[in-house]
Amino acid sequence: MVTQVRPSQLSAWLDTVKPHGSPVVLDVREHSELQRACVQAVGFELITIPMGVIPPRLTELDPRQPIACLCHHGGRSMQVANFLKARGFHHVANIAGGINAWSSELDPSVPRY
């Protein structure tokens, strides 16, 4: 089962998984979406790989690293989180509400679209 983490809870989740490695936020949105809005990497590494190319680029991710998946509202990122979990990634979370919730809960300077 994939952990659901609201953006406002992400910092606490990152603290709990840091003993397992340097945490990553995996943004699975498309390039055009990244141009509209993006998050600042504070306390984590930000990796952007669109959902559709995760399978062929899976080797770019370390299954030992904690990974929190992010998309627009949380649906695509949940699918990617489940995909990763099924392939042996141990510390995986979905950022519930996506970047839309990130804007309202953490950083209102992130544009909503």
Q: What is the pLDDT of residues 22-49, one digit of tens each?
A: 999 999 999 999 999 999 998 999 999 9
Once rounded to an integer, what is the mean pLDDT over residues 13-21?
90
- Give the C-alpha distances (Å, rounded to integers) separating 3 from 33, 59, 62, 98, 112: 24, 22, 18, 14, 24
Record the tokens describing residue 105, joined without a space: 């809960």
pLDDT at 9 over 90: yes
- The rounded distance, in Å, linking the Cα atoms of 89 and 72 is 22
Q: For the chain, which residues make up each domain, given as ranges?
A: 3-105
Question: Which CATH code for domain 3-105?
Answer: 3.40.250.10
- The rounded distance, in Å, linking the Cα atoms of 3 and 107 is 22
Q: Are 47 and 69 in contact, with CB atoms under 8 Å apart?
A: no
Which are the catalytic amino acids? 71
In one-letter notation, the amino acid at residue 79 is Q
Q: What is the pLDDT of residues 52-64, one digit of tens each?
A: 999 999 999 999 9
pTM of the model: 0.96
Q: What is the pLDDT of residues 57-93, one digit of tens each?
A: 999 999 999 999 999 999 999 999 999 999 999 999 9
Position 21 scores a pLDDT of 86
